[in-house]
Structure 1
């Protein structure tokens, strides 16, 4: 996670070892700091193993200090890191137990001249017991044999002697070996075990196979019953319904209930890389900063002319609005995300500039416009209703025609609603907005309904479209209802009934909220 120097100091300055994180004047000063830190740690309430660990680190640091002290040449921090890693990796903490009682952890050579009642021998695999052909020598096997030098055959004999001498007086012997035939750490049992199995007629030998197998997890899907308390919550929800609530329900009913009805939130994690959502917000905010300066006026090409430096400044303002540090975006993947965001913003400006250059008139009416208390009645008596609210990313006039634009990070999906020719198609259309592919179309229908019923805009027609950041050069891709791009109140009658079907499904006491599992391929 990228953290700026300033943030680092704000978060950690109270720590007793904060000076270890600051850039030292020299390597020798840094070693002194680490030795001092280890010394202070030893006065804390520690168990024996931790105390030993710290002491070994302290010893390693002192060895390096003593080695470097006589010399005056400069040592870099990178070199110090290599020295510490080399020295620490070769350190071992010996296991020392009480010789007359309890468990003794020993190497094979340490068992010489000692007898035990119970023995547990680990890693009794071929290649470890005996060690096999792994002598460090430049002399070939034949040369060593000719001159009567030790070869790996003699080593095998030595291992055989140690093994049989160890087990000769034991009452219970457990020989453990890895018998995996595939994957990582494949193994084969030691030849000594095979020898015992074939030749030993006097002892009882038991074979136990221990396998680490995992059963497939049968995940129980979450199901939330619509109790009286839940239904009361849903009645309260009807007073403030957002298009994003409906799309959330289509995606996963349980998530909709937990986040939109109960108001629970997922724990926010520190992002190491900019998430898809934060990337979308970055472009959103940048466009908002650019366009809100020109509200209510007809745009000219000069209004949308930005140098690279000016555009970077706009993106930095958007980053601050995201509550992120601009330092995060100076390197790594976040730098790439910022560069892509810059390119998307520039492409959107270019498309708008081209519209104006081609002789069209473009007037920005609002950015991030919120609407509230837009009522939709379920019955003719107007006793049952829901109230819509939400935010529209951009409302403008292109050649005098009102347009609603919703920015999306993802590509556009089905924005064309075709008229039903047969009765079966009519029934399918009734359930159209239950399909995941039509989420964007459903959102745009609610926005169109909200704007056409808002007293602020006297228009009888509106165009609705998605401007996808993934296909920014395509411009606004318009919603088409029965082949019409200019949407009127009568044209919205059917889509609003289908939206009503979704809302009634949410409110239906007979249907529980059941978790949807999305397949990832």
Structure 2
């Protein structure tokens, strides 16, 4: 395969041009490197390298203006805006930056296509006046300001461009316009210089005029790279622009049009693969490259072209490990490196001026790898200490002062992150710089860190130095939000460049980097509508019909540009692999691209079209089984010796694996800050408040007056217990306030029910409140002691009958404390766990001789208070007679099931087996 660049050099040599004396103008700098590499292949003698420049460099030289960054333009334009806009109508810099980017883009297009500025701005203003009925007398202030903005566009443009020219700088369009103004002078002062333009396609009006003037004055030649298949088909967009140039340029009436090639029609292997998701494409590209290496294909002549450049990182992670040489033309986005996430978190926290910070924001900053580096200490893990304190004290919002009391030795670092960010912007930028240098100092000390981290630090230092320069020159940044906007604008355009040998090995590039270059094997990813081509996006203030009228490019021309790039990649390639995402996504591309359909319909090549499904291993969910080893049995004996609680036994009934995790492995649930009061916290508060009310009246009969006195203390005691359990969590607003009121309502309703009971003539005597119990069980088949332990919420005497009562803040129904068959009580957790618990309490109280049978046991459900005490009952059948009294016979039957359950837990031959959920 000979490349387009090689063919151009060969033609120039045959026409006896001295390559050293030529100036090559190319669409990109990268193409110049490949051109320089091809010169030795056409020349058999030593020579000086020719001058090779990009079209942007050439036009800058013509215009005598230097290009500046988009951020510089933004700041300069805001200066113009402030001078020409009434102070009462001025937008903040942050608001201005959102719409001015679009206007700057329109200025650029208007200048590149040499549209008379006043004409188009007056036209746009007239359209807006018609749209908003400008002749109406009663216009609102908003409409007046809106129309005033459109009327000032011409003034904005004139003032802005004049200011830029006076500084010797410009945006691309202004540079092109000035270059056209200077072209005649340039030609007159050019002596024996020959310009070679090659690889161009879509030219703006300024470029056309410049190139045509040079051609007509015989100081330039131009080479097009277009295939006859596209050129001779009037409907093929790959040659849309080239057809126009060939037809409309008078130069080609007398001069040969170079070139129409025949490469596209030659035999090619073209495969199209539909693959789900972007990561699927990245993984499959890795497989393709592995296969190419096995076939001894030279990866030097292979290019991976990314339709969506966000695939770069997944593809790098999917490359075969044995690829030695690799060149990546695009840089790694600076916004994707770890330090960017730290500054993102800092700006997010401080965008809203506040002295307190949400705990999750604080944790995200503290847990960052570079923050941990700053807090690193030989004797303790400061970050973990801070995080544990926040969670254990339930701190939803924190101040910097609070953090400093927890870690007083690191006050300076805490101040760096959390103090003084609502001061001047200069102070904030100083903090950012201090942070960068503090991290650098720690990296220098800590040799275990990757050297790449220092490169991150250097690039961010450069970025913030640029912001400091812009702010000191223009003073437009007035708050954190504006600073954040500027930061994001600079960050989005910055990349971390890869270092490598550009002419060796596999090439990974974006679509625009492929201009002028040719490869034998091409892999193109993300060939979906909305990506290739990009579709009908119109980020402009200029309406579609106005663009057509003034011959400005629309989405059709933009699509034609990508059509040319796509087909040009295919022209000389022998092996083509086209990948697209089968999962259409509005945000990241739609259905497969029209380019694929066009390839299939044109019938020139056989297309191997496949849908590739990723290999998804069938993961069978096997229920966990934990064998009871000798060590595990020892742990079970320890639990048995310390005592099984009713909740741990019902936990085993629900799922033996949960019992194993919690009681044997001692794995606790993950502790986190309770932003909203959890159900268990609510239950604890209710239990503790009732315990405090009733405990002073043990062995006393309750009276209406006693209970009424409790009611007057509800507010105070519930508040006290909430603060005790919920620590420093806020219960003064939001959902927490609602839960607080629910707790008060639960207790108030319970006390009201108690008062009604007493008024009805019932006698209630409190015997026990939160009574601790521990008994030893005699299980003959077990050769070690087994104990039961638990705390009973309340034991009372109701009209002479002893009752054991368990409080539940959830909803419990009567059916949940009734049983028909005894052997069901330890097998069906959902139905009988409540019955099991109350019977266990009754059994312990009886065995410890704290009650005399018969007794009653039941549950008071605070969500079902109207049902009173939900008493345990043994039923003869589903509709049979209920017996609510617990007798020796009842407990004897329960004891059998209880001992059988504990025996099963302790049985070395019965493993812990997970239950189906």
TM-score category, normalised to shorter length: 0.7 to 0.9
Shift in Å at residue 454 of structure 1? 2.6
Residue 571 of structure 2 is aligned to residue 191 of structure 1: no
Shift in Å at residue 445 of structure 1? 1.5
- CA distance in 2: counterparts of 1:213 and 1:186, whole angstroms: 24
In the other structure, the counterpart of 1:168 is: 571
In the other structure, the counterpart of 2:842 is: 448
Deviations along 1:103-128, one digit per CA (max 9) or x if unpaired, are: 66654344433445554434322333
Which runs of structure 2 are paired with 1:396-415 in the superposition (5 Å)?
Answer: 396-413=796-813, 414-415=815-816
- What runs of 5+ residues in structure 1 fail to find an aligned partner? 420-427
Pick the structure with more helix per residue: 2
Q: Contact 1:347–1:473 (CA<8 Å) still a contact in 2?
A: no
- CA distance in 1: counterparts of 2:687 and 2:868, whole angstroms: 15
Q: Contact 1:415–1:480 (CA<8 Å) still a contact in 2?
A: no
Does 353-362 or 178-187 show the bigger shift?
Answer: 178-187
Shift in Å at residue 404 of structure 1? 1.1
- CA distance in 1: counterparts of 2:614 and 2:712, whole angstroms: 59
In the other structure, the counterpart of 2:413 is: 17
Residue 286 of structure 2 is aligned to residue 286 of structure 1: no
- CA distance in 2: counterparts of 1:433 and 1:344, whole angstroms: 31
Residues 231 and 125 of structure 1: CA distance in aligned 2, closer, same or farther (over 3 Å):
closer
Deviations along 1:395-454, one digit per CA (max 9) or x if unpaired, are: 2223343221111233225355466xxxxxxxx433433221111111211211222233
Residues 39 and 348 of structure 1: CA distance in aligned 2, closer, same or farther (over 3 Å):
same
- CA distance in 2: counterparts of 1:438 and 1:65, whole angstroms: 74
Shift in Å at residue 321 of structure 1? 4.0
For residue 434 of structure 1, the aligned residue among 827, 831, 837 is: 827
In the other structure, the counterpart of 1:486 is: 885
Q: Contact 1:116–1:169 (CA<8 Å) still a contact in 2?
A: yes
SS at match of 2:619: coil
In the other structure, the counterpart of 2:210 is: none
Q: Contact 2:581–2:591 (CA<8 Å) still a contact in 1?
A: yes
Which runs of structure 2 are paired with 1:285-304 in the superposition (5 Å)?
Answer: 285-304=688-707
Q: Contact 1:430–1:501 (CA<8 Å) still a contact in 2?
A: no
- CA distance in 1: counterparts of 2:434 and 2:721, whole angstroms: 45
Residues 433 and 186 of structure 1: CA distance in aligned 2, closer, same or farther (over 3 Å):
same
Residues 82 and 464 of structure 1: CA distance in aligned 2, closer, same or farther (over 3 Å):
same
Point out the structure with max Rg over C-alpha.
Answer: 2
In the other structure, the counterpart of 1:353 is: 755
Deviations along 1:343-373, one digit per CA (max 9) or x if unpaired, are: 2122222222222333333332322211112
Shift in Å at residue 385 of structure 1? 7.9
How many residues are treated as equivalent by the alignment?
495
Residue 423 of structure 2 is aligned to residue 26 of structure 1: yes
Q: Contact 1:4–1:328 (CA<8 Å) still a contact in 2?
A: no
SS at match of 2:729: helix
- CA distance in 2: counterparts of 1:416 and 1:148, whole angstroms: 83
SS at match of 1:327: coil
Which runs of structure 2 are paired with 1:152-231 in the superposition (5 Å)?
Answer: 152-170=555-573, 172-181=575-584, 185=588, 187-199=590-602, 201=604, 206-207=608-609, 209-212=611-614, 214-215=616-617, 217-231=619-633
- CA distance in 2: counterparts of 1:321 and 1:416, whole angstroms: 32
Residues 345 and 516 of structure 1: CA distance in aligned 2, closer, same or farther (over 3 Å):
same
- CA distance in 1: counterparts of 2:454 and 2:716, whole angstroms: 54
Residue 491 of structure 2 is aligned to residue 93 of structure 1: no
Shift in Å at residue 386 of structure 1? 4.6
Residue 722 of structure 2 is aligned to residue 316 of structure 1: no
- CA distance in 1: counterparts of 2:544 and 2:816, whole angstroms: 77
- CA distance in 1: counterparts of 2:760 and 2:534, whole angstroms: 82
Shift in Å at residue 304 of structure 1? 3.1
Residues 418 and 123 of structure 1: CA distance in aligned 2, closer, same or farther (over 3 Å):
closer
Q: Contact 1:348–1:475 (CA<8 Å) still a contact in 2?
A: no
In the other structure, the counterpart of 1:463 is: 856
Residues 190 and 289 of structure 1: CA distance in aligned 2, closer, same or farther (over 3 Å):
same
Q: Contact 2:822–2:893 (CA<8 Å) still a contact in 1?
A: no
Shift in Å at residue 393 of structure 1? 1.2
Q: Contact 1:130–1:190 (CA<8 Å) still a contact in 2?
A: yes
- CA distance in 1: counterparts of 2:668 and 2:527, whole angstroms: 49
Q: TM-score, normalised by structure 2?
A: 0.48
Compute the RMSD of aligned alpha carbons: 3.7
- CA distance in 1: counterparts of 2:558 and 2:787, whole angstroms: 86
SS at match of 1:268: coil
- CA distance in 2: counterparts of 1:218 and 1:102, whole angstroms: 42
- CA distance in 2: counterparts of 1:54 and 1:364, whole angstroms: 72
Shift in Å at residue 296 of structure 1? 3.3
For residue 476 of structure 1, the aligned residue among 869, 873, 879 is: 869
Residues 277 and 67 of structure 1: CA distance in aligned 2, closer, same or farther (over 3 Å):
farther
Shift in Å at residue 219 of structure 1? 1.7
Shift in Å at residue 180 of structure 1? 2.4
- CA distance in 2: counterparts of 1:514 and 1:119, whole angstroms: 54
In the other structure, the counterpart of 2:910 is: 511
Residues 155 and 494 of structure 1: CA distance in aligned 2, closer, same or farther (over 3 Å):
closer
SS at match of 1:194: helix
In the other structure, the counterpart of 1:52 is: 459
SS at match of 1:495: helix
Shift in Å at residue 497 of structure 1? 2.4
Residues 8 and 58 of structure 1: CA distance in aligned 2, closer, same or farther (over 3 Å):
farther
Residues 138 and 62 of structure 1: CA distance in aligned 2, closer, same or farther (over 3 Å):
closer
- What runs of 5+ residues in structure 2 fail to find an aligned partner? 1-358, 360-395, 444-452, 876-881
In the other structure, the counterpart of 1:128 is: 531
- CA distance in 2: counterparts of 1:111 and 1:234, whole angstroms: 68
Q: TM-score, normalised by structure 1?
A: 0.80
Deviations along 1:60-92, one digit per CA (max 9) or x if unpaired, are: 46645765579xxxx6xxxx3432342233232
Does 95-104 or 398-407 show the bigger shift?
Answer: 95-104
